[in-house]
Copies of this chain bind each other. A is one copy, B any other.
Amino acid sequence: MTSYRFAIDVMPKEGILDPQGRAVEGSLPHLEVEGVSEVRVGRRVELSVEEADEDTARAVVERLAGELFANPLVESWTIDRVGGRRTEHSDARVGGP
């Protein structure tokens, strides 16, 4: 058994109302930020799955995404393997103090 770590990104589907995104856009003038648009707000779940192989582990994640993390009617999701506890893409910069 091997432990595989995945990230599931859940976003509102195209054309679906995104009240959180609208709220962010509404707050930008107060921060004196210009040029920001098309804000979409979703969720990100990271988890580890102990399985015999990656395909089996990914199938578990796929099932959880559709049944627990996302509402398939209004949300879509992507599943990525991640190396450690945080995704480290090549062009990623880690923030926070």
Contacts of A79 in B (CB 8 A): 92-93, 95
Contact (Cβ within 8 A) A94 B80: no
Copies in the complex: 2
Chain B residues whose C-beta falls within 8 Å of the C-beta of A70 in the assembled complex = 95-96
Given contacts A37-B47, A44-B43, A49-B36, contact A78 B72 (CB under 8 A): no
Q: Are B14 and A85 in contact (CB under 8 A)?
A: yes
On A, residues with C-beta under 8 Å from B are 1, 5, 7, 9-11, 13-14, 24, 27, 31, 33, 35-51, 58, 60, 62-70, 72, 75-81, 85-89, 91-97
A33-B60, A42-B44, A68-B27 known; A78 vs B92 contact (CB < 8 Å): yes
